[in-house]
Amino acid sequence: MIRLEKRPQPSQAFSWATPLLAVLATMFFGGLLFAALGKDPVSSIITIFWEPLFGSNAFYYRPQLLIKGAPLVLIAIGLSLGFKAGIWNIGAEGQYIIGAIFGAAVGLAFYPAQSVFIFPLMILAGALGGWLWAMIPAVLKVKFGTNEILVSLMLVYVAEQFLASMALGVLKNPEGFGFPGSRNLQQYASAHNGELIAGSGMHWGVVAAFIAVIFAYVLLARHRLGFAIRVTGEAPRAAKFSGVNPTRLVLFCMGTSGLLAGLAGMFEVAGPAGQITIDFNVGYGFTAIIVAFLGRLHPIGILLAGGLMALTYIGGDIAQSQLGLPAAAIQVFQGMLLFFLLAFDLFTNYRLRFGHREVA
């Protein structure tokens, strides 16, 4: 028989090896998936992981790694703080959407005025929008004991409907010949989140992501609040006796994750996306959950995991155009990463035992 036996202590070696094993397993079984679709598995994997970095058009794709990776890292850093404390914000996608709407609304309210103060106001508005949307499940949890997983997730669908109503209503471009969507912020200098260095992919969202990584690292390693977050997640009873205020912790973790998700949405709508549309959201809020766990909820690990996930986005687009792989196959490939990460993570706390069942 085969059984799972709980380890006396979690295996640190397995904990850090799990992301690598998950990536290798994803590449192997992803290759089998591509083979089942009639594509060369080796060529498909090479296209996804090699072409964006070292292919013939790598000079074009490399900056895209920063553009795609920045919102993932920004959102994942916020989520990781809550996850470490056992606070499960699954609705970052909704907070990302609301942050984009708030930021775009402020920018468009000043159109066509030109001022250096417009973009900073958009940043504040985007952060406020994401924070407010995250405060709904946070307040409901601390006041009425509701489940933050369900409430935050359901609010994603409310945010999507709100996005559609804005694209078709208040924020609709009056000069857009009836097509849904706002004005293009890329054509409005004071509200455009353009590249800081031409051709580098570096914009203010990338800068914010790096600042968030540094902030989270210092918070978790050097600050009393970071200690409270870690203790609450690892030993809730010990945290209770040490004087940790659970209400304050829930509000802080949910609020911070919402704020960072809102910032990610604002930087995206003012930069790469350019406008509020019905299909503005592309799943960054959900993908960031994979990034957070792939990075082991550690700020540096999240930075590396965000780059890896950005690589699958860009490489997946290349594979679709060059090899004809369907978009759904690329999404399944990305989903495999989380599946194998959770599967291998089981062996951090458990190990397999082989033997015969003892007869009573």
Q: Distance (Å, rounded) from C-alpha 206 to C-alpha 267?
A: 9
Indicate if the pLDDT at residue 354 is higher than 60. yes
Indicate if the pLDDT at residue 356 is higher than 70. no
- Lowest mean pLDDT, pick from 151-155, 284-288, 327-331: 327-331
Q: Distance (Å, rounded) from C-alpha 250 to C-alpha 234?
A: 15
CATH code of domain 40-324: 1.10.3470
Q: At what angle do helices 284-294 and 58-84 cross, to 10 degrees?
A: 80
pLDDT of residue 326: 92
Q: Distance (Å, rounded) from C-alpha 82 to C-alpha 78?
A: 7
pLDDT of residue 139: 97
> Per residue in 25-70, pLDDT tens?
999 999 999 999 999 999 999 999 999 999 888 888 999 999 999 9
pLDDT of residue 332: 92
> Per residue in 227-249, pLDDT tens?
999 999 888 888 877 788 999 99
Residue labelled with tokens 């570096």: 202
Indicate if the pLDDT at residue 117 is higher than 70. yes
- Amino acid found at 149: I
Contact between 272 and 108 under an 8 Å Cβ cutoff? The reply is: no
Q: How confident is the model at residue 5 (pLDDT cuts 50, 70, 90)?
A: confident
Count Cβ atoms below 10 Å from residue 218 Cβ, excluding itself. Answer: 12
Q: Distance (Å, rounded) from C-alpha 318 to C-alpha 320?
A: 5
pLDDT of residue 226: 92
Q: Distance (Å, rounded) from C-alpha 291 to C-alpha 73?
A: 7
Instruction: Identify the three-state secondary structure at position 25.
Output: helix
Q: Distance (Å, rounded) from C-alpha 180 to C-alpha 276?
A: 9
Residue labelled with tokens 């590249």: 195
Q: How confident is the model at residue 360 (pLDDT cuts 50, 70, 90)?
A: low
Q: Distance (Å, rounded) from C-alpha 181 to C-alpha 188?
A: 15
pLDDT of residue 357: 60
- Amino acid found at 142: V
Q: Distance (Å, rounded) from C-alpha 345 to C-alpha 227?
A: 23
- Lowest mean pLDDT, pick from 16-25, 67-76, 202-211: 16-25
Return the CA Rg of the chain.
22
> Per residue in 254-311, pLDDT tens?
999 999 999 999 999 999 999 999 989 888 999 999 999 999 999 999 999 999 999 9
**Residue range 173-196: mean pLDDT, rounded:** 91
**Residue range 334-345: mean pLDDT, rounded:** 89
More confident residue, 145 or 349: 145
pLDDT of residue 181: 93
C-alpha atoms less than 13 angstroms from C-alpha of 107 in its C-beta half-sphere: 33
Q: Which two tokens stand for residue 151?
A: 């409430």
**Residue range 128-154: mean pLDDT, rounded:** 97
Q: Distance (Å, rounded) from C-alpha 208 to C-alpha 262?
A: 12
Residue labelled with tokens 């792939």: 294
Indicate if the pLDDT at residue 358 is higher than 70. no
Residue 174: asked if its preceding bond is cis (omega within 30°), the reply is: no
As a whole number, the mean pLDDT across the chain is: 92
Q: Which two tokens stand for residue 344?
A: 């291998």
pLDDT of residue 359: 57
Alpha helices (H) in the chain, listed in sequence order: 12-36, 41-49, 51-54, 58-84, 92-109, 118-144, 148-168, 204-222, 224-234, 236-241, 246-270, 284-294, 299-323, 327-349
